[in-house]
C-alpha cells in the first residue's frame, strides 16, 4: 500500500478492512520509548490479563487487568480520529492475554454514510479524537474474547480468519451498543441522574464523572447536556462550588491518590493516571490538594480528608 507523507514523515497507509487479532501469554512491551506513526482507527481491546501503558499524541493511557490486580478483565475503546503518534512506555514484562479489533476511519465513515448529520451518539464518538471508554468485560463479551483466542476444532487457516472476523464484528456491535447508551444518556444507564430529569449542573456532573478518562471539550459537554457553555459553567459553580475544570482535575487527583495508597502504583505511573505529563507538576498539584507529597502518601498509605475532597451531591 502507498503511504502518505506529512511533515517530512512517511505515514502508514490506512487499510480499509476491520482487523481482528489476539495475544496469548506473550510479552508485548517496548524495550525503550519509541514513537510510532499510526493511522486513524477505532480500537477495541478486551484485556484479560496484563498491563499496557502508552501515550497517543502525548495523552497517557494505562490499562491493566487480570489475576493479582484490582481490575477484572476489561474492555478499552479508543477512537483515533486522525494520524497520530503512539509511544509505548516501560511496563512490567508480565505476559498479555488480549483480543484486539481495529476498524479504520474509512470503514467507520462507510458505516455512517448518509447519517453523519443525524443525532447519532456513535457518530459523535467516532468523530472525537482520543474519545475513549473502559468498562468491565463480562458475559457475552468475555465469551467472544475467549472464542477469538481459542476458535476450537476445524477453525484453521481461512476458517480461523473468518471465525475471528465474525466474532470481532459481533464484539464491536456489543461494545457500540454500550457506547451509544453511554453517549446518549451521559451515564444515565449506570446509576447517574437521567438527562431529562436533572438540572444542567447535575447532567454535567454525571457526564464528567463517567468520562474522567476523556478530555471532552467544554463546548461538547454543554452540547451533550443541552445548555450553553456560559449557563453550564455558571450553574455548575453555583451547585458544586467549583469550576468544571477544577472539578475534573480534583477527581483525577483523587483517583491517583487511591492508586498510590491502595494499588501501590509508582508516583510516575500515578501522574500519568491523573493525566499529567510532568511528574513535578503532578506532585505540586497533589500536595496542594491533599497537603502531602505523592511519594509520602505512597510510602505511608496516608489518605487525607480535606474539605476540597467533599463532593456536595
Q: 275-290, pLDDT tens digit by residue? A: 787 889 999 999 999 9
Local structure of 52: helix, strand or coil: strand
For the question of whether the overall pTM of this predicted structure is more than 0.75, the answer is: no
Specify the fold of 4-185.
Jelly Rolls (2.60.120)
120: alpha, beta or left? (left if phi > 0; alpha if psi -120 to 50): beta
Distances (CA, A) of 130 to 27, 58, 260: 25, 11, 26
pLDDT digits (tens, 9 = 90+) for 182-240: 766 544 433 344 444 468 888 888 888 877 777 788 888 888 888 889 999 999 999 88
Specify the fold of 195-309.
Arc Repressor Mutant, subunit A (1.10.10)
Q: Give one DSSP letter per residue of 136-171, joined into a string.
A: E--HHHHHHHHHHH---TT--HHHHHHHHHHHHHHH
CA–CA gap between residue 302 and residue 294 (Å, rounded): 10
Q: Determine the pLDDT at residue 21.
A: 92
Q: Determine the pLDDT at residue 196.
A: 43
- Residues 247-257 as b or e (16 or more Cβ within 10 Å = b): bbbbbbbbbbb
Residue 5 has pLDDT above 60, yes or no: no
Local structure of 240: helix, strand or coil: helix
48, 196, 194, 179: which is closest to 103 by C-alpha? 179
- Domain segments of the chain as ranges: 4-185, 195-309
257, 238, 255: which is closest to 312 by C-alpha? 238
- Give me the chain's average pLDDT, please: 78
Contacts of 309 (CB under 8 A, 6+ apart): 250, 254, 289, 290
Local structure of 310: helix, strand or coil: coil
The better pLDDT of the pair 67, 1 is held by 67
Amino acid at each position: 500500500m502507498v503511504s502518505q507523507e506529512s511533515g517530512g514523515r512517511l505515514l502508514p497507509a490506512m487499510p480499509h478492512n476491520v482487523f481482528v487479532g489476539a495475544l496469548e501469554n506473550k510479552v508485548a512491551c517496548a524495550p525503550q520509548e519509541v514513537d510510532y506513526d499510526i493511522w486513524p482507527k477505532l480500537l477495541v481491546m478486551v484485556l484479560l490479563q496484563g498491563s499496557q501503558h502508552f501515550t497517543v499524541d502525548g495523552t497517557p493511557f494505562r490499562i491493566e487487568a487480570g489475576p493479582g490486580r484490582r481490575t477484572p478483565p476489561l474492555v478499552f475503546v479508543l477512537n483515533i480520529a486522525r494520524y497520530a503518534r503512539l509511544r509505548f512506555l516501560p511496563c512490567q514484562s508480565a505476559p498479555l492475554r488480549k483480543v484486539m479489533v481495529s476498524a479504520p476511519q474509512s470503514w467507520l465513515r462507510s458505516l455512517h454514510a448518509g447519517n453523519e448529520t443525524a443525532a447519532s451518539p456513535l457518530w459523535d464518538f467516532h468523530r472525537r479524537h482520543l474519545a475513549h471508554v473502559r468498562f468491565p468485560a463480562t458475559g457475552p463479551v468475555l465469551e467472544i474474547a475467549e472464542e477469538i483466542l481459542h476458535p476450537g476444532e476445524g477453525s484453521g487457516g481461512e476458517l480461523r480468519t473468518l471465525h475471528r472476523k465474525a466474532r470481532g464484528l459481533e464484539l464491536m456491535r456489543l461494545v457500540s451498543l454500550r457506547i451509544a447508551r453511554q453517549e446518549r444518556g451521559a451515564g444515565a444507564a449506570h446509576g447517574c441522574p437521567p438527562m431529562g430529569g436533572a438540572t444542567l449542573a447535575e447532567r454535567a456532573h454525571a457526564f464528567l464523572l463517567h468520562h474522567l478518562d476523556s478530555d471532552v471539550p467544554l463546548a461538547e459537554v454543554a452540547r451533550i447536556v443541552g445548555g450553553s457553555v456560559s449557563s453550564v459553567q455558571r450553574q455548575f459553580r453555583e451547585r458544586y462550588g467549583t469550576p468544571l475544570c477544577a472539578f475534573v482535575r480534583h477527581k483525577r487527583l483523587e483517583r491517583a491518590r487511591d492508586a498510590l495508597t491502595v494499588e501501590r502504583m509508582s508516583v510516575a505511573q500515578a501522574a500519568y493516571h491523573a493525566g499529567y505529563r510532568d511528574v513535578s507538576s503532578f506532585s505540586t498539584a497533589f500536595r496542594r490538594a491533599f497537603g502531602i507529597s505523592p511519594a509520602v502518601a505512597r510510602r505511608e498509605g496516608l489518605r487525607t480528608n480535606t474539605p476540597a475532597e467533599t463532593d456536595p451531591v
